[in-house]
Structure 1
Amino acid sequence: MAPRVLEIVGDFVEDYEAMVPYQTFIACGVQVDVVCPGKVSGDFVMTAVHDFDGFQTYSEKPGHRFTITANFDEVDVTKYDGLYLPGGRAPEYLRLNPKVLTIVKHFFTTQKPVAAICHGLQILAALDVVKGKQCTAYPACGPELVLGGAKYTEAGTKDFPINDAIIDGNLVSAAAWPAHPKFCRLFLTKLGMTFTW
Structure 2
Amino acid sequence: MAPKKILMIVGDFVEDYEVMVPYQALLMVGHHVDVVCPGKKANETVATAVHDFEQEQTYTEKRGHNFTLTAAFSSVKSTDYDALVIPGGRAPEYLRLNKEVRDLVREFDDSKKPIASICHGLQLLAASVALTNRKVTGYKAVGPDLVLAGANYVEVDVTEVVVDGNWVTSPAWPGHPKWLAEFLKLLGTTINL
Q: Please report the TM-score for the alignment, with normalisation by the length of structure 1.
A: 0.95
Amino acid of the residue matched to residue 162 of structure 1?
A: V
* Aligned equivalent of 1:5: 6
Shift of 1:139: 0.4
| Aligned AA (2:51) | H
Counterpart amino acid of 1:31?
H
Distance 2:134 2:67 in 1: 31
Q: Which residue of 1 aligns with 2:36?
A: 35
Q: Which residue of 2 aligns with 1:169?
A: 165
The letter of the residue matching 1:90 is A
8 Å CA contact 1:128–1:148 kept in 2: the answer is no
CA-atom RMSD, angstroms?
0.9
What are the equivalent positions in structure 2 for 1:80-159 lying under 5 Å apart? 80-155=81-156
Q: State the distance in 2 between where 1:13 and 1:70 align.
A: 17
- The alpha-carbon deviation at position 163 of structure 1 amounts to 0.3
C-alpha distance in structure 1 between counterparts of 2:129 and 2:103, whole Å: 12
> Runs of 4 or more off by more than 6 Å in structure 1?
none
- The code of the aligned residue for 1:167 comes to V
Q: Secondary structure at the match of 1:102?
A: helix
Alignment of 1:44-83 (within 5 A): 44-83=45-84
Is the 1:49–1:62 contact (alpha carbons within 8 Å) kept by the matching residues of 2? Answer: yes
2:187 aligns with 191
Q: Distance in 1 between matches of 2:57 and 2:139?
A: 14
State the distance in 1 between where 2:109 and 2:29 align: 24
Q: Where does residue 158 of structure 1 map in the other structure?
A: none
Supply the AA of the counterpart residue of 1:122: Q
**Structure 1 alignment gaps of length 5 or more:** 156-160
Amino acid across the alignment from 1:46: A
Amino acid at match of 1:57: T
Kindly, what percent of the aligned residue pairs are identical?
54
CA-CA distance at 1:148 after TM superposition: 1.1
TM-score, normalization: structure 2? 0.97
SS in 2 for 1:88: coil
Contact kept? 1:138, 1:175, Cα under 8 Å: yes
Hey, what's the Cα distance between the residues in 2 that align with 1:53 and 1:162?
14
Count of residue correspondences: 192
In the alignment, is the contact (CA less than 8 A) between 2:126 and 2:149 conserved in 1?
A: yes
Higher mean alpha-carbon deviation, 89-98 vs 123-132, is at 123-132
For the residue of structure 1 that corresponds to 2:128, the secondary structure is coil
Distance 2:139 2:97 in 1: 19
